Structure 1
Amino acid sequence: MALDASTFETLTPSRFISFTIPHPSCSNSPLRVAVLDSLHQPNELPQVGAMLVPEGREVDWIFSTELGHLQLLFSTPEISRLILIGNNFNEGTVPFPPRVYHRPFNCSLHLQGFEVWSKPLLLALSPKSLFRKGIPEIPILIYDDNLVSSMVVHQCVGMHVGEMLVEDVEIENGSGLLHRGREFRRRLRFKRMPNLIQTEICIVPEKDDSDGLDDVLIGGDVGFVPDLKVLVHPYLGPMVAGLVLNSEYVEGRIQNGFRPKALCLGVGGGALVSFLRTQLGFEVMGVDSDSEVLRMGREYFGLEECEFVHVVVGDAFESLKKLVCHGNLQHDCEVNGFRGHLVEDEVNGKFEVVMVDLDSSDIRNGVSSPPLEFVRKDVLLAAKLVLCEFGILAINVISPCRSFYDNLVSSFQDVFHELYKIDVGNGENFVLVATASPLVFSAGICDNSFLMRLKSVIPEAYLNSITKI
């Protein structure tokens, strides 16, 4: 069915339309055009932006789904209408597995005079109100990230999170320290938030031949295995850095013969759970709502359940309340119908740290973390009650607006004694650390072996950037 050109004359919040047009220089290769209007009407003249889809990534959820387009629009809030143009794809003919991408040396659309021939099309797809001051210039946005190559190694559907995929990638490495300047990662992504990496870990070639890394390729003959010694997800290091605040108490527990305990709400692939156990000696309980996500963690991300790692399937909020109701962690407990095995100790089974990595499931309101449900007073009180006297809560925060941040801080200050902030440094995330009791920050004590261990695995810049709110 032919499109009516008048369809694009006005902005319609959240409207999404995609169609194909003939390629101006290749009759056998049509182009796909997608038009998405912002959720909010502009107060002044609208702004239109056009984006080229990177060649070879047309089937990536970022560029092939409405939710992916919506997240791109959120990343450019000044744009009222986003127009994406790229090579057409037929998802039914895409081979899987594997699906391999290697970054091309150049963009063929540019070489074929895209900026010239696309101008009439972009003007035709612009709202009438954009022409109040004459013929506008429509900026061409280039999607630029550090992805060198990628391969989808598994794709499945979870009961709660929906479609997800595991992919191995090679990324640009500015430091040049890992793998002689080459860096390989494994990622878990959800289709409902395609631009958001849910879990990311380092991977290394199975056959680490010191003379053969130049020949290692994503999608090649050499496989990869998880390397869990370093936290590469931007906000996980800062979350763990919050432990500097109660490091004296944790050290005291260790000196008295006890393993410190951590509760992780939101497990994903299990990078944080694994790191706390292997690098810092914690006993860890993890709660995740989707059993399929946990299966991906076990199969692809090195998540191992053992004497000191207990992972259960359940709702984070309900699980908190059940832990409070139990009073202490019994040897056999049930969380949302999943029976697990936990180890009790002399401090009522409470935790030295609760780490929260949960995000909103409604992408149409923008990416935000934590979900609004977590900010309820009963949930925060439950989180405080499962902490030991000098326990802390560390939470990843993505704030879509100032009011979200202000409400979050106010809610935490109503329940917890002290509140600290760590800037992740990526312009998106920051970490809040709340304390169950007043703490003394004394990072200079030399006989604190736990603190020394913490400093050896977490960049000191994070440890030194903690500021009290």
Structure 2
Amino acid sequence: SCQDSPLTTPPPPPSRLPHIQDHRGITAKRCGHQPPKPIAMGGEGAEGDGGLPAFERLHPSRFVVFSFPNPLDPSESGARSLRVAVLDSPAPSPAPSTAAMLVPPGRESDWVFSTPAGHLQLLLSSSASRLVLLGCPPSGDSPLPVYARPRPSSTFQHQRALLPLLLALCPRSAFRGGALPEVPFLSYEDGVVWSRVVAVAAGPVAGEMVVEDVEVEMVEADGADTSNPLLPPTASRERRRRVRFKRMPNLVQTQMRLVPEIAAATGSSCFRVETGVLVQPYLAPMVAGLFLASSLIEEKTHMGLRPRVLCLGVGGGALLTFLESHLGFDVLGVEADEVVLSAARQYFGLMEGEFLKVSVEDGIKLFKGFCGEDCAGKCCSGNACGRHGRLRWWQEYLDSAIDVIMVDLDSEDARSGVMAPPAEFVEKDVLSNVKSVLHEQGILVMNVIPVSGCVYGELVGYLHEVFSELYEIGVGNGENCVLFATVSPVAFPLFGNPRESSFIQKLRQIVGSKYVDAIKKI
């Protein structure tokens, strides 16, 4: 049975908008050993030979799934047939190459391996122009209720047995000069040792999502700050609760640490979500960037006022809770999907109060067409402006300027090549409107994941056109970085000030000097 489900090639992005992509710790890489020597199929593979007719040429974004008799002993592999999924790259390649990946046993139903979106993200994280996934057929449409990673075993015989099929799936152009192409096997690593599905839901914006408890192997990054109790400790393994979306299953949207406790009613051991700790690797650098607004924050604190922060993107609410509980901010969170907010409240301990409020709104649309001037409800075109129209629900919040805007948003479609921030957010009119609601000493903070230095340079250029100064912090995971844009020039020396304010001292205490000292001007 053969199922051909084309993935439509996305339209090219506007020339001024960057492509940004994130894989957040989930990578595809070559196995440590060399792949077995290719096995010829019915001859020496003369030039032009090889390839099933349907796969002789690359077709951008074509996705094909079919079943194939299992060449391995069913008693070893557990299935008489294999699911073979073939995806061609959305972008043309001058030197076509094919790679393969064996689906980890027990994860056949995981959206990473069973959906076109997950397959595409795996392909984009490799250098291949065609990626073939091979594994047992999935047992359902959602990840298994419980997964336990089996003991590692050699896949050498599996790879050798599957090479004839893989050679037949190579495009005709790969057979050059009578030589058989090399088909490397990629491995998948995300550190998950054990997982349990807590809930599966579907939202009007995010689509299908899974809340799951996982046990992950921890790998300490070089130079990690291990002295701060508000950051995740270094440990061999750690339990976490996290959310993933089906449209981008390789990305962990939000995660929090699970810590053991004794239930008062029964005396039995259980786990609870630890809400006061920043687990996502880029959240601590985002908070560290408040250093750039420390004069404003210190001034408001001395006046008995809470600094005001608007968070675009709530997720599980870890950042919002941290800003309110540890730094005393007045926090407003905006989340586009009400189901995501419900999950944050039910499964991640998000609690609203006098100084922490959330609302269901599209953060980008709120700033599109928004007029930052005092226009008595009318913009220059005579139409009702955003502040007095779409933004009426938070008009009171805007009566005094916002001190900090934090953006943690990703793209809705991995095929756009943009994951964080969405391309729409860095349009000039949106950035200008964002600036218009900030205090004159305020800052914009963004989680950014660029696919290349060129894309990152373009993003920096767009921000420079609107804001006064730009700063950055590298997260240290090889993927994320955090950008800070200031409305006005920073009026104090960044470092070497012997009389740091009490807020800066507190900031160093709760997120560590490692990130504060890593801030650099662009």
TM > 0.5 fold call:
yes
Q: Which moved more, 1:427-436 or 1:360-369?
A: 360-369
Residue-pair matches, total: 445
Contact 1:162 1:190 in 2 (8 A): yes
Provide the C-alpha distance between the structure 2 equivalents of 1:436 and 1:118, rounded to a whole number of angstroms. Answer: 58
Aligned match of 1:79: 128
Provide the C-alpha distance between the structure 1 equivalents of 2:113 and 2:201, rounded to a whole number of angstroms. Answer: 19
Aligned match of 1:192: 247
Given the alignment of the two structures, is residue 234 of structure 1 paired with residue 289 of structure 2, yes or no?
A: no
Shift of residue 300 of structure 1? 0.9
Shift of residue 222 of structure 1? 5.2
Structure 1's 356 and 335: CA in aligned 2 closer, same or farther, altered over 3 A? farther
Aligned match of 2:195: 150
Output the TM-score relative to the length of structure 1: 0.88
Q: Which moved more, 1:170-179 or 1:270-279?
A: 170-179
Aligned match of 2:212: 167
Shift of residue 327 of structure 1? 9.2
Structure 1's 174 and 411: CA in aligned 2 closer, same or farther, altered over 3 A? closer
Q: Which moved more, 1:174-183 or 1:375-384?
A: 174-183
Partner SS, residue 138 of structure 2: coil
Structure 1's 154 and 324: CA in aligned 2 closer, same or farther, altered over 3 A? farther
Shift of residue 206 of structure 1? 3.6
Structure 1's 367 and 184: CA in aligned 2 closer, same or farther, altered over 3 A? farther
Q: Which moved more, 1:425-434 or 1:360-369?
A: 360-369
Structure 1's 162 and 120: CA in aligned 2 closer, same or farther, altered over 3 A? same
Equivalences for 1:11-410 in 2 at 5 Å?
Answer: 11-23=58-70, 24-26=72-74, 29=79, 30-44=81-95, 46-76=96-126, 78-91=127-140, 99-107=145-153, 110=155, 113-133=157-177, 134-174=179-219, 178=233, 181-207=236-262, 223-320=270-367, 324=372, 336=390, 348-410=399-461
Shift of residue 373 of structure 1? 1.4
Q: Percent identity?
A: 47
Structure 1's 441 and 292: CA in aligned 2 closer, same or farther, altered over 3 A? farther
Contact 2:101 2:132 in 1 (8 A): yes
- Once the two structures are superposed, residues 317-373 of structure 1 have per-residue CA deviations (whole angstroms, 9 ceiling, x without a partner) of 343466946899xxxx998599579668xxx42222100111121211224321221
Structure 1's 374 and 17: CA in aligned 2 closer, same or farther, altered over 3 A? same
Provide the C-alpha distance between the structure 1 equivalents of 2:484 and 2:129, rounded to a whole number of angstroms. Answer: 36
Shift of residue 124 of structure 1? 0.9
Provide the C-alpha distance between the structure 2 equivalents of 1:75 and 1:454, rounded to a whole number of angstroms. Answer: 35
RMSD, aligned α-carbons: 2.8
Contact 2:276 2:318 in 1 (8 A): no
Given the alignment of the two structures, is residue 420 of structure 1 paired with residue 444 of structure 2, yes or no?
A: no
Shift of residue 400 of structure 1? 2.7
What amino acid is aligned across from residue 227 of structure 1 in structure 2?
A: E
Aligned match of 1:217: none
Given the alignment of the two structures, is residue 449 of structure 1 paired with residue 502 of structure 2, yes or no?
A: yes
Structure 1's 48 and 343: CA in aligned 2 closer, same or farther, altered over 3 A? closer
Provide the C-alpha distance between the structure 2 equivalents of 1:185 and 1:387, rounded to a whole number of angstroms. Answer: 35
Provide the C-alpha distance between the structure 2 equivalents of 1:372 and 1:337, rounded to a whole number of angstroms. Answer: 22
Contact 2:218 2:234 in 1 (8 A): no
Instruction: Point out where structure 1 has 5 or more consecutive residues left out of the alignment.
Output: 213-220
Structure 1's 208 and 122: CA in aligned 2 closer, same or farther, altered over 3 A? farther
Contact 1:311 1:340 in 2 (8 A): no
Contact 1:312 1:339 in 2 (8 A): no
Shift of residue 147 of structure 1? 1.1
Structure 1's 236 and 262: CA in aligned 2 closer, same or farther, altered over 3 A? same
Output the TM-score relative to the length of structure 2: 0.79
Q: By percentage of residues, which structure has more helix?
A: 1
Structure 1's 253 and 327: CA in aligned 2 closer, same or farther, altered over 3 A? farther
What amino acid is aligned across from residue 74 of structure 2 in structure 1?
A: C
Provide the C-alpha distance between the structure 2 equivalents of 1:62 and 1:286, rounded to a whole number of angstroms. Answer: 29
Determine which structure has greater relative contact order: mean sequence separation of CA pairs < 8 Å that are 6+ residues apart, divided by chain length: 2
